[in-house]
Chains A and B, each alone.
Chain A
Amino acid sequence: MSDTHAQSVAFVRETEIPPSPPPVAQAGAVKWVRENLFSGVFNTVLTLIALYVVARLAIAVFPWFYNGVWEAESIRDCRDQLDGATGACFAVLVDRWDHLLFGFKYPQDGYWRILLAFVLLMAAAAPALFQKLPRKMLLFTALYPFLAYWLIWGGSLWMPVTLLALVIATGLVFQLVARQISVDMRKIVSGVIGVICGVGLTYLLFIGAQELVFIAGSVGTEGIVSSVAYGLFWLMAIFTFALCVPMGIFVGYAIFNSYEDGGLVSVVTALLFIYVALTYLLGPIWMALNGVFPIELQEVASRDMGGFMLNMILGTVCVSLSIPLGILLALGRQSSMPLIKGVCVVFIEFIRGVPLITLLFVANVMLAYFLPPESNFDLILRVIIMITMFSAAYIAEVIRGGLAALPKGQYEAADSLGLDYTQATRLIILPQALKISIPGIVNVAVGLFKDTTLVSIISMFDLVGMIRGPIQNSTEWISVYWEVYGFGALLFFVVCYSISQYSQWLERQLNTSHR
């Protein structure tokens, strides 16, 4: 029976029909265009508007680029060459290339140092940015600040080397006091350190009290505000004066008392060691070493930094300094101690509430009055201090978000394991919170890097300052605008775009690991 069926059908297809090509309108470029550009009236209108805008921009900008003059001595020369045509005068970039990148005072034969420092920065940042790279590379990251300092500022190599040695030695001292020596031995150390610290603190507080009396005296009692301030300062002076001895004894005792677990005394010993080494050891040692094996680069003062390099230096230094500060602030804001919490909240909200430019004004016109008369901080250093404080406040908020995002169970689990606050924070909380916060921190870093251009307003010659100051005011290039601003925008775009692409990549990495 089955045969009949087969015979009743005239033709049985034994292979599949090859798929016929889709209609022209449904395939290839046409389909893509239809789906992506002209699906529906609204989209078509949008596309046409967009095309019009792009075309207008292209028509406006293209001749300007195309006619650009690359070789000229001055803007007048440029105009002569263009002879009335629309065109850019890119010659300014050629002529002032070094100034735009490095400022006009950095020694020209030292540009390789900056470039090397920049390349090494990439190498140093890589292990911190990419988790997959071998962890041993972090060693180089730790060495990098010392190396970069030497490359950029110059001077003797022995200075950063001895500083590095000091850091290592401090670590060793800490280890020694905390772990290596016997309890009896530590008891002696604690006693000595405790006495030193106690006496030192008493002396400091005594001076502080005198200082407060001095301030009160100069505030005077004219008017209500002055009188209140006068009273407050006297009150604080009395408070400090009354406390200088008990406080010294108490802190000294506290240090001595920690001989059993060694926590406090090892920290204080390490700090004291740093102080003593910085004051009395470091200078003579590196000078002596340099006398024997002189390895020197030409020294460059920090006010000679300029151009895009200054933006890079400010950005990198301030971000790296502000991360630890930001962590401390974030932890302080989470603290259960009202005073600590209050101080952190006030600091963060104050900094976040005022524009960076006012803080730079503070660095520029006020900070000098807050420091001892005989001190004279470099402007760049004052600016670094203020920008670091600024970015620390923002980073603290990002990290606070990270801390808040951690499940409460993590804190409780850490407690139940019997870890104390330091251990729990260091081993459980921070590693997780920081990991969540990295994209946010990177965003703050990008924003901060862009904000470093504001230093141009307080007469520092960064990229923008260089353009608005020496270049636009020079006899040769007096009314050059688009070329230099465009170049500045391009430089920033390249750097910031790369960083933000990294941040987005990282966010994707983090997202997948959560699911």
Chain B
Amino acid sequence: MTTLADPHTESFRPSMLLNDTRYRSLTFQFIALVAIIAAMAFIGGNLVRNLTEAGLNISYDFLGAQAGYDINQRPISYDSQDTHGRAAMVGLLNTLIVAFLACVTATIIGVLAGVLRLSPNWLVRKIMSFYVEIFRNVPVLIWILIIFSIMINAAPAPRDFRGDDPSASMWLFDTIAVTNRGVYLPKPVWGSGSLLVVGVFIASIIGIFMYRRYARKQLYDHGRLVPTFWPSVALFFVPVILAQLVMGSPISLEYPELKGFNFRGGVTILGSLIALWFALAIYTGAFIAENVRAGILAVSAGQTEAAAALGLRPGRIMNLVVLPQALRVIIPPLISQYLNITKNSSLAIAVGYMDLTGTLGGITLLQTGRAIESVLLLMLFYLIISLSISFIMNIYNNTMKLQER
């Protein structure tokens, strides 16, 4: 009989910290930790020493001090008497506004261009490749500057609307003014009873969703194709217009009018916002187009053929078969394009749009001289925006993922 002896338990020896794979990684990490602390000591020590020598200190008190400068686009109320902190918030909101607008527009442009790049029409295909290549291969900063120049020089100045025989006129029955300072739109004025109209509007939106669900249920359960497009359009417009008429037009529009130097009244969309918005959207749209094209090509040709064999028309094939499958390939790179838009929006400085970089990282930094604090805060803000976007988009991505069985 042989008894199974216990394996010889090695006692711990210092050399095992190096030679034994069980302990070695701990050793490495410990050394890394010490190295990190040493690096921090080095950098921090220098910082303190340099600041003392220059007679400066680190303080965020300047955020509470009066800013003293004006900002042209104010999503929240702000004037030159407010604090630098509030100016930074205005800048942050402006960054979010332009990033959101550009993301939406870039997606639309990108999907359109991506689909059209695969169009059977030779001319369209070539134009779209030209668009994609020329925008992908030239720096975004140059594009922003060029598009800004185009907008300034191509759109009429407010002075062109003046006089008896103006060289420019407003659009859509004198309701919209397109100038090189921005676009002036009519602004709704909420009279009494407008709440009801809004209520009707919301109800009709809910109605559209209900109707679409009903239509889908009909399709799945009974195989009946209920038309959805025209009824939806009707549901969208008719009840609201009826309510508006019945209530005696509680919602009226305030039209922009040329008064003094500028158009007054209505809603203004600043020229710098438009230039940055379009520059970012068109630039990023070219990248998204490539992602979309790659996504569509990734769907195997068999899918398209099978759908065609079922008798679906090309539009339906794209909408019902190809795009839903392509979406899974498209979304991950789309997330990083959205992040790129947000980050590239910091180039607003080149067109004078007062975003976060223009306020906190621009005028505030200059006026207070608090370079370190401002740049650190700036990076923190962008980091928070980026991380939230990728967090939200990743959740969306996970819901879109193929449910593998």
Contacts and interface: CB of A to CB of B under 8 A. Distances in A.
A458 B137 CA distance: 23
Instruction: Determine which residue in A54, A211, A457, A492 has the highest number of CB atoms from chain B within 10 A of its CB, and name it.
Output: A211
Interface string A427-462: 000000000000000000010001101101100000
Contact of A240 (B41, B347, B361): B41
A457 B349 contact: yes
Interface string A38-74: 0100010011001101100000000000000000000
A354 B343 contact: yes
B34 A446 contact: no
A349 B133 CA distance: 29
Contacts of A485: 142, 145-146, 149
A353 B138 contact: no
A254 B15 CA distance: 8
B190 interface: no
Contacts of A361: 361, 371, 375, 378
A343 B127 contact: no
A451 B46 contact: no
Interface stretch (A111-119, A123-131, A137-145, A370-378): A370-378
Contacts of A496: 136-138
Contacts of A253: 14
A82 interface: no
Interface residues of B, number: 70
A208 interface: yes
Nearest to B37: A236
A372 B28 contact: no
- Give the bracket for the number of chain A residues in contact with chain B: 35 or more
A350 B346 CA distance: 16
A468 B350 CA distance: 10
A115 to B, nearest CB: 23
A53 B104 CA distance: 24
A320 interface: no
B58 to A, nearest CB: 9
A487 B190 CA distance: 51
Contacts of B371: 361, 365-366
A293 interface: no
Given A54-B127, A343-B32, A451-B139, A369 B15 contact: no
Nearest to B60: A225
B308 to A, nearest CB: 15
Contact of A343 (B14, B36, B138, B379): B36
A482 interface: yes
Interface in B291-346: 339, 343-344, 346
A485 B138 CA distance: 11
Contacts of B40: 212, 236
* Chain A at the B interface: SS class: helix
Contact of A369 (B17, B137, B372): B372
Interface stretch (A149-157, A165-173, A191-199, A333-341): A333-341
Contacts of A457: 347, 349-350
- Where chain B touches its partner, the secondary structure class is helix
Interface in A352-401: 352-358, 361-362, 365-366, 368-373
A313 interface: no
A275 interface: no
Contacts of B146: 482, 485-486, 489
Interface string B42-62: 111111111111000000000
B33 interface: yes
A36 interface: yes
A257 interface: yes
Contacts of A493: 134, 137-138
A237 B379 CA distance: 28
Contact of B383 (A50, A354, A370): A354
A451 B143 CA distance: 12
Contacts of B346: 355, 357-358
Contacts of A368: 50
A240 B34 contact: yes
A143 to B, nearest CB: 31
Interface string A231-247: 00100110110010001
Nearest to B119: A46
Interface in A478-501: 481-482, 485-486, 488-489, 492-493, 496-497, 500
A339 to B, nearest CB: 4
Given A53-B127, A485-B146, A47 B32 contact: no
A209 interface: yes
Given A46-B121, A370-B46, A354 B382 contact: yes
Nearest to B44: A215
A44 to B, nearest CB: 9
B241 interface: no
B139 A50 contact: no
Given A354-B343, A369-B46, A481-B149, A456 B41 contact: no
A53 B124 CA distance: 11
A358 B357 CA distance: 8
Contacts of B233: none
Nearest to B26: A337
A362 B38 contact: no
A464 interface: yes
Contact of A365 (B51, B136, B357, B372): B372
A251 interface: yes
A149 to B, nearest CB: 26
B47 A369 contact: yes
A147 interface: no
Contacts of A46: 116, 119, 121, 123-124
Contact of B25 (A336, A489, A500): A336
Nearest to A244: B34
Nearest to A39: B120
Interface string B103-145: 0000000000000100111111001000001101111111101
Interface of B: 14-15, 17-19, 25, 27-29, 31-34, 36-38, 40-53, 116, 119-124, 127, 133-134, 136-143, 145-146, 149, 339, 343-344, 346-347, 349-350, 357, 361, 365, 371-372, 375, 378-379, 382-383, 386-387
21 contacts: A36-B121, A36-B122, A46-B116, A50-B124, A212-B37, A218-B48, A236-B40, A239-B37, A250-B14, A258-B18, A354-B382, A361-B375, A365-B365, A370-B46, A450-B138, A453-B142, A457-B347, A481-B145, A482-B146, A489-B138, A496-B138
Given A446-B137, A451-B139, 8 more contacts: A47-B121, A51-B123, A211-B45, A257-B18, A337-B25, A340-B29, A368-B50, A373-B49
Interface of A: 32, 35-37, 39, 43, 46-47, 50-51, 53-54, 204-205, 208-209, 211-212, 214-215, 218, 233, 236-237, 239-240, 243, 247, 250-251, 253-254, 257-258, 336-340, 343, 349-350, 352-358, 361-362, 365-366, 368-373, 446, 450-451, 453-454, 456-457, 464, 468, 481-482, 485-486, 488-489, 492-493, 496-497, 500
